């Protein structure tokens, strides 16, 4: 009886879990093109390329875009914090430029020409 049962278990078709396990382990590529034409004039072409595999398999074949996607990683939080810090620094620099403009230096809009007190700079002689 147990031998019959073992043959029934091994002879059964693979289930969904078995199929998914194999797809994730080996990978699955689906490729196709869809063209929409009207009176022999091509209006739209869609090229579809789909790869289904596990993260480990994707890294083995050189795909790792999700590591650098700012929407998927904690790097997005760091980038947002850096953006906030840079905005604050920019605002501070703009305030300093306005102060320089009020104290005698001229600041004009448009081409952003800024004139401040000049300092003498020694230039090296080129040989």
Task: Evaluate whether residue 28 is within a structural domain.
Answer: yes
In the numeric block, the tokens 């953006």 are attached to 83
Q: Are 94 and 64 in contact (CB under 8 A)?
A: no
Cα 21 from Cα 27, distance rounded (Å): 10
pLDDT of residue 97: 92
User: Strand runs (DSSP E) across 53-127, as ranges?
Assistant: 106-107, 114-115
Write the pLDDT tens digit of every residue in 31-76.
899 999 999 899 999 999 888 888 888 888 888 887 777 667 676 6
Task: Evaluate whether residue 118 is within a structural domain.
Answer: no
Please tell me the total count of domains within the chain: 1
Q: Mean of the pLDDT values across residues 105-122? A: 52
pLDDT of residue 30: 85
pLDDT of residue 84: 92
Task: Evaluate whether residue 55 is within a structural domain.
Answer: yes
Task: Evaluate whether residue 73 is within a structural domain.
Answer: no
Task: Evaluate whether residue 81 is within a structural domain.
Answer: no
Cα 114 from Cα 107, distance rounded (Å): 5
Q: Does residue 114 carry a pLDDT above 70?
A: no
**Angle at the Cα of 47 (from 61 to 53), degrees rounded to 5?**
30
**pTM for the structure as a whole:** 0.37
Closest CA to 51 of 86, 87, 24, 19: 24
Task: Evaluate whether residue 78 is within a structural domain.
Answer: no
Range of the domain at 15: 2-63
Task: Evaluate whether residue 126 is within a structural domain.
Answer: no
| pLDDT averaged over every residue in the chain | 77
Q: Tell me the β-bridge partners of 106.
A: 115
Task: Evaluate whether residue 22 is within a structural domain.
Answer: yes
């Amino acid at each position: 009886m147990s031998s019959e049962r073992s043959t029934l278990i091994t002879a059964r078709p693979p289930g969904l879990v078995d199929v998914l396990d194999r797809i994730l382990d080996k990978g699955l590529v689906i490729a196709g093109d869809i063209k929409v034409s009207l009176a022999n004039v091509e209006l739209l072409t869609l090229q579809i390329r789909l790869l289904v595999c596990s993260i480990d398999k994707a890294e083995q074949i050189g795909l790792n875009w999700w590591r650098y996607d700012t929407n998927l990683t904690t790097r997005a939080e760091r980038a947002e914090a850096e953006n906030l810090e840079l905005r604050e620094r920019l605002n501070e620099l703009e305030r300093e430029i306005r102060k320089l403009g009020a104290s005698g230096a001229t600041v004009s809009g448009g081409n952003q020409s800024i004139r401040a007190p000049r300092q003498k700079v020694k230039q090296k002689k080129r040989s």
